[in-house]
Structure 1
Amino acid sequence: MDVDESNVSYLPQQSLPTVHVPASYDEHRDKHTPLCIDNGSTYLRFGFCTSESPRVGTNMIAKYKERKTNRPLLLFGEGIDVEGGARSQARTPWEGDVLLNFDALENALDYAFIQLGIDTPTVDHPILMTERLASPLHSRALTSELMFEQYSVPSLAFCVDSVMSFYHNNLPSPPVPFRSDGLVVSFNTASTSVIPVLDGKGLMSHAKRIPWGAMQATDYLLKLIQLKYPTFPSRVTATQTNWMLQNFCEFATDYTALLRQLKDPLQMRAADRIIQFPYTLPVAEEKTEEELARIAERRKEQGRKLQELAAKARMEKLVQKENDLAHLLSVRDRREEESKKEWADTLREEGFSSDAALDSMIKKLEADLKKARKKEADGENEEPEEPPSFPLVDVPDEEEGLKEKRKQKLMKAGYEARERAKREKEREREEREAEERREEEERDRDLAGWAARMRREQEAIMSRIKERNRRKAALTDRKSAASQARMKSIANLAADDRVPKKRRKGGGEDMFGADDADWAIYRKINTAAVSSDEEEDFATLQSVEQKLLAYDPTFTEEDTHASLTSQRSALMSAFRPQYEEGDVKGKARIHLNVERWRVPEAWFSPSMAGVDSAGLGEVLQNVLARFPDHDKGRLVKNVFLTGGPSQLPNIIPRLHATLRPILPPEMPLEIARAADPTLDAWRGMADFAKTDEFARVGVTKAEYEEWGGERIKRWWGGNWNSSVPM
């Protein structure tokens, strides 16, 4: 298929990990400079509060034994990708949105302190560390125990990352205290939270969180891709899927209207984004023109020989059937002449169990010969010809002319069968002409009623065709009801009780086909068999549509089955374009269209991805409903977005379209995004660590030793403040 190459994007090449050189510790030695650690689910950001930007590493560790030297290694972040087998043993401190793996956290903190150049036995710096909204108290207690017991830090304070990002972007000029209002919407890795802030204090008792974040969105996009491309030649990883999410997905202001727009194949193709995966072209031998010409001539010759062999086989089969029919007819003629015992012996010699079996076989042969002769009669010249004569048929049997007489009998039977076929064809033509006359009279009398009847007939035939196609598709699934019914039919045929078990075991006669119902069962169990009803339905449908096109002015080409099927096929082709067999480059491409908006829409409708939770719009409405109009106006005047997924396009227009209808018309609504959604949380922590207030919000080592890890200090940026009871 033709593809605009300018619309093709290539997966980024995996770069070698950067070797990070530990910083010099001389600048901060014995100065007690506060240390800020943003312990995120994806990245660990750490640094002294006096630094302009933090050091960043993937928050993941792996304990791995090197193959060559058999030495145990502890890898962190990008270093995991250096060793091929280390990825399978990688661990993160987080399990979803809860901090659980404290061994991994300890290893990550070891790496952070080494990179900061801290070479003293203890970490003699106050620590400001992030935690998730509504974190369990035991997670904070174990983290405090690790910090005070393992590293002997002088003090430790916890804060909510999104509140610190809000603090950094709304930081007042000193010495004015922080008194900003706003509604913080934080898009995290494993969740999305909404935190109201009034007078510079996060109201955690009114905050809400939904279990949908970047990790779930990436997993959802990966499942959609796997469903769309079940036989994709390459393995699509979560890292590649996350890259697609960040670069091609966006929010829709009106998702329902967008879906209606994408029903147009042209709009679907315009929305398409193509991702090219790596591929390897097969090595093919190049042939000369002479070799190609010889191969083509050889194929033509083989085709001609196959046609001749097929024609010869058909003729031999037809002659054999005529001989078999003549023989069986002669056998049936002896029924009246022989006694019952002799007739039973004759049937047994011929391989029949009863008269019904003999009559059924004769009937089947006559039907096959009638069908073959009808085809032959259709191809013959319609000019009248003199009937042939068969003089030996009525002559008494003589040994000398017996062979010729049998031949003339067969020729006479064939001629009479062809004549009957011609008469049958003429009768059908007369009935068809009479039916056309009746239809013409009905059209002249009531055109609207005739057209309505024809349309109902067209819809009924299309429904049968659709149901037949649905059944064929269901048979490919072994767990479907149709497939299980097919297996039951096969099992019933295998347990056919018309032949006794002893006789079946001893090689008794197979009775399948003796009953006409057997062939209906065969059509059910044979998924590849072409149904005669299907051919008849298509022929009837074409005839009905031709009549409607000719006589019904309201029926157009767009209403025909072919046009409707073509429209669906065009939409499916735009949704997932099909490449020619052998196009290795095209087979290694992923087309994203509907998925670009469907995945971000899950933030507002998690149920579409199988998550039983309220969407972001419903949560915002629920949070705002708890405030009077005066406070609500202060909140919506500064709706603040932070976190990596907040960088997806059109998130601000979508939130505006969600919030505006639930607010009074005169209430101003302003939505802003963090200047740097990924680093502003750490920068806000650094800003706060430089203030005098920081020394009052941390738990000191002496307090820890007296009260334990559950010691909490309430302050405006933490999970516990004065509005939340202990």
Structure 2
Amino acid sequence: MAFISGSRGPDRQSDYKFIPRSCPIVIDNGASTFRIGWAGESEPRITFRNVVLRPRHKITGETVTIVGDHDPALLKYFDCTRSSHRSAFDSNVVYQFEIMEYILDYGFERMGVEGSRVDHPVLITECACNPIQSRSKMAELLFENYGVPSVAFGVDAAFSYKYNQRLGICDRDGLAICSGFTTSHAIPFVGGEPVLEACCRTNIGGYHVTDYLKQLLSLKYSNHMSNLSWEKVEGLKMEHGYVAQDYASEVQLFQTGTKAAEEKTRCWQLPWTPPPTEVPISEEEIARKAAIKEKQGQRLREMAAAKKSSRISDMENELHGLEFLLNELKTVKENDIQSFLSQTGYVSKQEIESAVVRVTQSLRRAKGEPVEVEDKAEASAAEKYSLINIPDNMLSPDQQKEKKRQLLIKTTTEGRQRAKQKRFEEELERERKNQEDEEKRLENPELYLEELRTKHRELSEKVEQRKRLKTNGPRTNGNQNLSSSVGRGERLNAAQKERMRLLTTAAYDRGKGEDTFGIKEEDWQLYKLMSKDNDDDDEGPDDDEAELVRITSRLQDIDPAFIPKVESSSYQTVTHIRPLTKEDFQITIGVERFRCPEILFQPNMVGIDQAGLDEMAGISIQRLPLKGDGVEDRITHSILLTGGSCIFPGISERLEAGIRKMRPFESPIRVVRASDPVLDAWRGAAAYAASDQFLLQTFSRQDYYEKGEEWLRRYRLRYTI
């Protein structure tokens, strides 16, 4: 017997050796809870959940067995996510005896049994009309594995009824309605003995009520599913659930939302930590941040200026060194030039001159001076592209191909140089504007900031209006369509419309009944015209957008309170996220309080096409083999509610009203609840096992070996001793 018990597990009993061997062990083997103790006592010694979990150790990979609810502290050492709780029951019938063996091992070990042999008689409860196969396997398990001397089987609802009969709550003739974890039974009693031939069963119980409540709350509060564990929902059901006397009128009460419905609504507060309150930034803080940002900006500008000065100084030194080499090269004799160049790292005089040109141009760019094309560079370009200015009739075919290649290279190079020069000029213009802005800001910072904000607002409105017109087209008045229904033509500007007209007219006029447009090479010039994008004459160039970007960047640098606007598509919706409050972590339970227990009377609400508790009572009474002599009235006068699912408030009144509808007028109907619907089954079994005649109701291990399963089929416990 190797088990792991958490901090919530029951303690091991120490008085097992002092208990006489004739004292029976009483086991209430319920589908939800396993209870075990000694006969004659009022409380069970050991109580735990009737499930088994078999996780693996995170390091060693060894599989261990955890019986009952595991301690959350075990998650540090065992992987409990890949295994789930397993029960030995299918509804309320034991069919997984491997799991049942783990549970019995744990129960006997907690009782103090040394080894695997139990020397005491055992009384174990079972469901009504338990299949003979399940009873036979249970007897085999107790006799073969534990060596018990004798065993007795009894119905848990019958023990609860007999216990409450001794307390004077119910009579000898009556009806026991037991609503358990997964099933509900109705068992009539005549002369103190259960009439099992007339019992009725429905596959509905407390498990289904909790599962239904968990489903409703998970759909209603999907963002809190992690907090809606089975144990939490079970607690909510037991604390707030009740049975409505009239389900339809109760639902109508919550639909109208009256004050009575608000009074019946319960609220469950989940753990919630309020977010820290944000203190508004004061003007002094804004000024302090602006001063820090200005100081950082000034430091960056000084670093950039120092880096630029150092770079200019390095290029001037390099240029002086190259000019010195050229001057020294003039004094060197022709025969000594190669040896002199080998010491400098240059191959030829032309390479030194090219380096001088390159460094000179870089130095002028760094100083902000215009870069002029040197005559030497022009001469080298003329040598490089020597075939461009020569007519084609004076060149051979190979030279003509070379001429085309040189022309392509020259065009590409000149384009790159023009683009580079343009970027350089734009950079100089930006620096000039930034210098002017800095001068204006230093003269009057407040006025400069206000002007910058005004200009930013005007440019933003202008750019947004242009984008809106370009996307949706202009709105029209009168009977014409608005921008919400503009067509392709209404979205085009004037230049685009003109190009479309040229293309369609040319194709129509050129064809004359036959589509010949595109045969001639000049026809394709129209397509080149169509592909041009610089047609936004009516919309203006993109200078406004560039200026808006520059001003936005400038405001971010000097204005701490400036927040740039985030552009969003017209098809996107801006979601405003509000901070979570205490009310967002509250779970409200209103109609669910009585809607979930209602499935005990209407199982079809969860897709189970069977009878409810009130209908089960009527069916059991109809199935009685002996009728007459007022036995039906005596039974309805003593209806006992027992089981864990019978503790809902209002269930007795609702059951009485339902049975009264099925019985004749003025029939005596009395519905009572057990003194303890949860523990009375074990207490009744413990009191029954403590009597002197209990051993006459058991069968021994020798009887089991001699008579076998057929004798178990005829075995029936008598509850009246």
Is the shorter-chain TM-score for this pair beyond 0.5, marking a shared fold?
A: yes
Residue number in structure 2 paired with 1:137: 132
Q: 2:493 aligns with which of 324, 342, 349?
A: 324
- After TM superposition, the structure 1 = structure 2 runs for residues 402-441 of structure 1, keeping only pairs within 5 Å, are none
* TM-superposition CA deviations, 1:104-137 (whole Å, max 9, x none): 2222222222222233763222211001122221
Give yes or no for contact 1:603–1:615 (8 Å, CA) kept in 2: yes
Q: Secondary structure at the residue paired with 2:249? A: helix
Residue number in structure 2 paired with 1:245: 237
Q: 2:67 aligns with which of 65, 76, 98?
A: 76
Give yes or no for contact 1:54–1:682 (8 Å, CA) kept in 2: yes
Residue number in structure 2 paired with 1:289: 282
Paired residue type of 1:35: I
Give yes or no for contact 1:160–1:717 (8 Å, CA) kept in 2: no
Task: Give the 3 Å change call, closer, same or farther, for CA 316–586 of structure 1 in structure 2.
Answer: closer
Task: Give the 3 Å change call, closer, same or farther, for CA 340–73 of structure 1 in structure 2.
Answer: closer
Q: 2:589 aligns with which of 589, 592, 616?
A: 592
Q: 1:17 aligns with which of 3, 8, 25?
A: 8
Residue number in structure 1 paired with 2:113: 118
Alpha-carbon separation, structure 1, partners of 2:79 and 2:603: 33
Alpha-carbon separation, structure 2, partners of 1:292 and 1:608: 63
Task: Give the 3 Å change call, closer, same or farther, for CA 622–235 of structure 1 in structure 2.
Answer: same
Task: Give the 3 Å change call, closer, same or farther, for CA 205–290 of structure 1 in structure 2.
Answer: farther
Q: 2:600 aligns with which of 598, 603, 617?
A: 603
Moved more, 675-684 or 45-54: 45-54
Give yes or no for contact 2:697–2:717 (8 Å, CA) kept in 1: no
Residue number in structure 2 paired with 1:310: 461
Residue number in structure 1 paired with 2:197: 205
Alpha-carbon separation, structure 1, partners of 2:38 and 2:167: 22
Is 1:227 aligned to residue 219 of structure 2? yes
Task: Give the 3 Å change call, closer, same or farther, for CA 581–273 of structure 1 in structure 2.
Answer: farther
Task: Give the 3 Å change call, closer, same or farther, for CA 584–138 of structure 1 in structure 2.
Answer: farther
Give yes or no for contact 1:644–1:678 (8 Å, CA) kept in 2: yes
Q: 1:254 aligns with which of 241, 246, 255?
A: 246
Alpha-carbon separation, structure 2, partners of 1:120 and 1:324: 96
Paired residue type of 1:45: R
Alpha-carbon separation, structure 2, partners of 1:657 and 1:341: 95
Paired residue type of 1:37: I
Q: Secondary structure at the residue paired with 2:706? A: helix
Which segments of 5 or more consecutive residues in structure 2 lack a partner in the other structure? Answer: 1-5, 290-445, 475-491, 529-536, 539-568
Q: Provide the aligned length of Structure 1 versus Structure 2.
A: 483
Residue number in structure 1 paired with 2:687: 687
Task: Give the 3 Å change call, closer, same or farther, for CA 107–331 of structure 1 in structure 2.
Answer: closer
Alpha-carbon separation, structure 2, partners of 1:266 and 1:591: 16
Paired residue type of 2:667: M
Give yes or no for contact 2:12–2:112 (8 Å, CA) kept in 1: no
Residue number in structure 2 paired with 1:275: 268
Alpha-carbon separation, structure 2, partners of 1:135 and 1:90: 24
Paired residue type of 2:147: S
Paired residue type of 1:39: N
TM-score normalised according to structure 2 size: 0.59
Shift of 1:527: 13
Residue number in structure 2 paired with 1:46: 36
Q: Secondary structure at the residue paired with 2:223? A: coil
Residue number in structure 2 paired with 1:619: 616
* TM-superposition CA deviations, 1:457-508 (whole Å, max 9, x none): xxxxxxxxxxxxxxxxxxxxxxxxxxxxxxxxxxxxxxxxxxxxxxxxxxxx
- After TM superposition, the structure 1 = structure 2 runs for residues 491-502 of structure 1, keeping only pairs within 5 Å, are none
Residue number in structure 2 paired with 1:341: 510
Shift of 1:280: 5.1
Task: Give the 3 Å change call, closer, same or farther, for CA 271–308 of structure 1 in structure 2.
Answer: farther
Give yes or no for contact 1:39–1:129 (8 Å, CA) kept in 2: yes
Alpha-carbon separation, structure 1, partners of 2:129 and 2:267: 41
- After TM superposition, the structure 1 = structure 2 runs for residues 375-414 of structure 1, keeping only pairs within 5 Å, are none
Task: Give the 3 Å change call, closer, same or farther, for CA 711–266 of structure 1 in structure 2.
Answer: same
Residue number in structure 1 paired with 2:18: 27
Alpha-carbon separation, structure 2, partners of 1:203 and 1:81: 45
Give yes or no for contact 1:222–1:236 (8 Å, CA) kept in 2: yes
Give yes or no for contact 1:233–1:588 (8 Å, CA) kept in 2: no
Shift of 1:586: 3.1
Paired residue type of 1:194: A
Task: Give the 3 Å change call, closer, same or farther, for CA 698–327 of structure 1 in structure 2.
Answer: closer
Give yes or no for contact 1:179–1:199 (8 Å, CA) kept in 2: no
Residue number in structure 2 paired with 1:97: 92
Shift of 1:585: 3.7
Is 1:147 aligned to residue 134 of structure 2? no
Alpha-carbon separation, structure 1, partners of 2:141 and 2:507: 106
* TM-superposition CA deviations, 1:225-262 (whole Å, max 9, x none): 11112233634211111111111111100010011111
Q: Secondary structure at the residue paired with 1:159? A: strand
Give yes or no for contact 1:142–1:709 (8 Å, CA) kept in 2: no
Shift of 1:704: 0.2
Shift of 1:328: 3.9
Give yes or no for contact 1:47–1:54 (8 Å, CA) kept in 2: yes
Q: Secondary structure at the residue paired with 1:591? A: strand
Residue number in structure 2 paired with 1:572: none
Residue number in structure 2 paired with 1:159: 154
Alpha-carbon separation, structure 2, partners of 1:161 and 1:217: 21
Give yes or no for contact 1:155–1:698 (8 Å, CA) kept in 2: yes
Give yes or no for contact 1:37–1:44 (8 Å, CA) kept in 2: yes
Give yes or no for contact 2:613–2:655 (8 Å, CA) kept in 1: no
Task: Give the 3 Å change call, closer, same or farther, for CA 635–324 of structure 1 in structure 2.
Answer: same
Moved more, 145-154 or 58-67: 58-67
Alpha-carbon separation, structure 1, partners of 2:590 and 2:284: 44
* TM-superposition CA deviations, 1:622-676 (whole Å, max 9, x none): 2223354622111110110111111111111111221122222321111111111
Alpha-carbon separation, structure 1, partners of 2:64 and 2:500: 90
Alpha-carbon separation, structure 1, partners of 2:187 and 2:56: 44
Is 1:640 aligned to residue 640 of structure 2? yes
Residue number in structure 2 paired with 1:581: 578
Q: 1:106 aligns with which of 90, 97, 101?
A: 101
Shift of 1:688: 1.0
Task: Give the 3 Å change call, closer, same or farther, for CA 58–284 of structure 1 in structure 2.
Answer: same
Paired residue type of 1:183: L
Q: Aligned residues: percent identity?
A: 27
Give yes or no for contact 1:185–1:642 (8 Å, CA) kept in 2: yes
Paired residue type of 2:134: S
Q: Secondary structure at the residue paired with 1:640? A: strand
Taking only aligned residues, the RMSD between alpha carbons, in angstroms, comes to: 4.3
Paired residue type of 1:33: C
Q: Secondary structure at the residue paired with 2:153? A: strand
Give yes or no for contact 1:202–1:716 (8 Å, CA) kept in 2: no
Alpha-carbon separation, structure 2, partners of 1:349 and 1:693: 116
Alpha-carbon separation, structure 2, partners of 1:669 and 1:287: 71
Task: Give the 3 Å change call, closer, same or farther, for CA 663–293 of structure 1 in structure 2.
Answer: farther
Q: Secondary structure at the residue paired with 2:696? A: helix
Alpha-carbon separation, structure 2, partners of 1:292 and 1:219: 56
Shift of 1:62: 3.2
Alpha-carbon separation, structure 1, partners of 2:526 and 2:453: 40
Residue number in structure 1 paired with 2:670: 670
Residue number in structure 2 paired with 1:458: none
Shift of 1:620: 2.2
Q: Secondary structure at the residue paired with 1:678? A: coil
Paired residue type of 1:101: Q
Residue number in structure 2 paired with 1:62: 53
Task: Give the 3 Å change call, closer, same or farther, for CA 117–585 of structure 1 in structure 2.
Answer: same
Shift of 1:25: 2.0
Which segments of 5 or more consecutive residues in structure 1 lack a partner in the other structure? Answer: 1-14, 353-402, 407-525, 531-578, 722-726
